[in-house]
Amino acid sequence: MVTARRISASDPGAVGEAARCLAEDGLVAFPTETVYGLGADATSGTAIARLYAAKGRPRFNPLIAHVADLAGAKRLARFGTAAESLVEAFWPGPLTLVLPKAPDCPVADLATAGLDTIAVRLPAHPLARDIVHALGRAVVAPSANRSGHVSPTTADHVLADLAARIDMVLDGGPAAVGVESTIVACLDGAPVLLRPGGLAREAIEAVLGAPLAVPDGAGEKSPIAPGMLKSHYAPRARLRLNAREVGADEALLAFGPPPSDAGHARAVLNLSAGADLAEAAANLFSHLRTLDATGATLIAVAPIPRKGLGEAINDRLRRAAAPRPRPEPSATPE
Ligand code: AMP
Ligand code: MG
């Protein structure tokens, strides 16, 4: 592949072209309500191998299978009572469920990293669902960026990372939610929050009528959430979190009223001047990219409350600020 074709989502042929490309083991980036996903046919080992290579994603990090409707989800996984009630309340939407694989689940083993569980999501974005529906099979769609980088919320972000590595990007404008889906495992025992995300924990707990459990031994290479790497979502610049003042050559990522010394900053962007967490989530990744592009070596980030979508925002910022590992020996070579 030379350079990805960019197709406007309003082009009447867009969905058909995307589905044809996926059917031929192509890689197609498309908008979902959370971030842009990089789609591949979930039943094709060849397509999934290409996807891991294009992202430089370690193969121990399994993928989320996207479906067009509940019937499609039930061909992949077994739903217990907790899962059924979450689906009823929140699908389609930014909620991924990790469930026991269905006995004849057609998803390629490479997509689930050999686990007997599978992550499934029914996205709210109509374009994402239309593409899956047109293909007629589940589509794996991790964020459309090089592994470890900042996730894309526009088609331009996708092309900046992957133009020479994928076949097509559908441009549907900026993603509305801006952070990845919340992941909840519904296996044996109480539901577990594997990753905070675009659906607030409080909303899920209200439906379950109980607090979400936290993973056993969560973190680096934990078998239950193998992809929750400590360093992820990382810009080139270093991040300094919970900053209440700005250093001389720092860029500032503000939230709410900026500190009085904000004028010293080399550049200032505000996640939400009105301290709205949904607006902050939608702006997070694109503001990180813009500040990174100023050439600042340090980005000071204002404190952000941990409630609601603030839990996901703080999670992404913590990973973006974490020390960067050397490349994984098991990662797919570039
Ligand atoms: P991404 O596609 O990069 O947003 O990440 C998907 C996340 O889902 C990763 O953190 C994976 O570890 C997690 N995931 C996918 N499948 C499973 C599974 N079967 N069990 C636990 N976590 C999973
Ligand atoms: Mg990602």
The CATH architecture one would assign to domain 238-321 is 3-Layer(aba) Sandwich (3.40)
Other beta carbons within 10 angstroms of residue 292's beta carbon come to 17
Mean pLDDT of the 201-228 span? 76
Distances (CA, A) of 33 to 14, 126, 174, 187, 227: 18, 9, 9, 26, 21
Residue 221: predicted pLDDT: 44
Task: Answer yes or no: is pLDDT of 220 > 90.
Answer: no
Structure tokens at 291: 């500040």
Measured from the Cα of 140, ligand 1's closest atom is: 2
Residue 217: predicted pLDDT: 61
Task: Answer yes or no: is pLDDT of 97 > 80.
Answer: yes
pLDDT band at 227 (very low <50, low <70, confident <90, very high): low
Residue 326: predicted pLDDT: 58
Residue 226: predicted pLDDT: 56
Residue ranges of domains in the chain = 5-220, 238-321
Measured from the Cα of 180, ligand 1's closest atom is: 4
Mean pLDDT of the 183-193 span? 95
Taking the CA atoms of residue 214, residue 67, residue 152 and residue 215 in that order, the dihedral angle to the nearest 10 degrees is 10
Residue 303 CA, ligand 2 centroid: distance in Å: 23
What is 5-220's CATH superfamily?
DHBP synthase (3.90.870.10)
The two domains 5-220 and 238-321 share their CATH topology (first three levels equal): no
Task: Answer yes or no: is pLDDT of 293 > 60.
Answer: yes
Task: Answer yes or no: is pLDDT of 222 > 90.
Answer: no
Average pLDDT of every residue of the chain: 93
Contact 292, 284 (CB under 8 A): no
Ligand 1 surroundings by CB, under 6 angstroms: 61-64, 98, 112, 115, 117-119, 142-143, 180, 183, 194-195, 224-228
Measured from the Cα of 119, ligand 1's closest atom is: 16
**104-120 pLDDT, tens per residue?**
999 999 999 999 999 99
Residue 133 CA, ligand 2 centroid: distance in Å: 23
Residue 14 CA, ligand 2 centroid: distance in Å: 24
Query: What is the sign of the dihedral through the CA atoms of 286, 164, 96 and 13?
Result: positive
Contacts of 258 (CB under 8 A, 6+ apart): 252, 268, 270, 302
Task: Answer yes or no: is pLDDT of 208 > 70.
Answer: yes
pTM here is: 0.93
Which of 35, 57, 61, 177 best tests ligand 1's pocket when mutated (most atoms within 8 Å of CB)?
61
Task: Answer yes or no: is pLDDT of 334 > 80.
Answer: no
Distances (CA, A) of 229 to 16, 63, 192, 226, 319: 35, 14, 17, 8, 8
Structure tokens at 39: 């789609």
**28-61 pLDDT, tens per residue?**
999 999 999 999 999 999 999 999 999 999 998 9
pLDDT band at 333 (very low <50, low <70, confident <90, very high): very low
Task: Answer yes or no: is pLDDT of 229 > 80.
Answer: no
Which of 192, 194, 228 best tests ligand 1's pocket when mutated (most atoms within 8 Å of CB)?
194
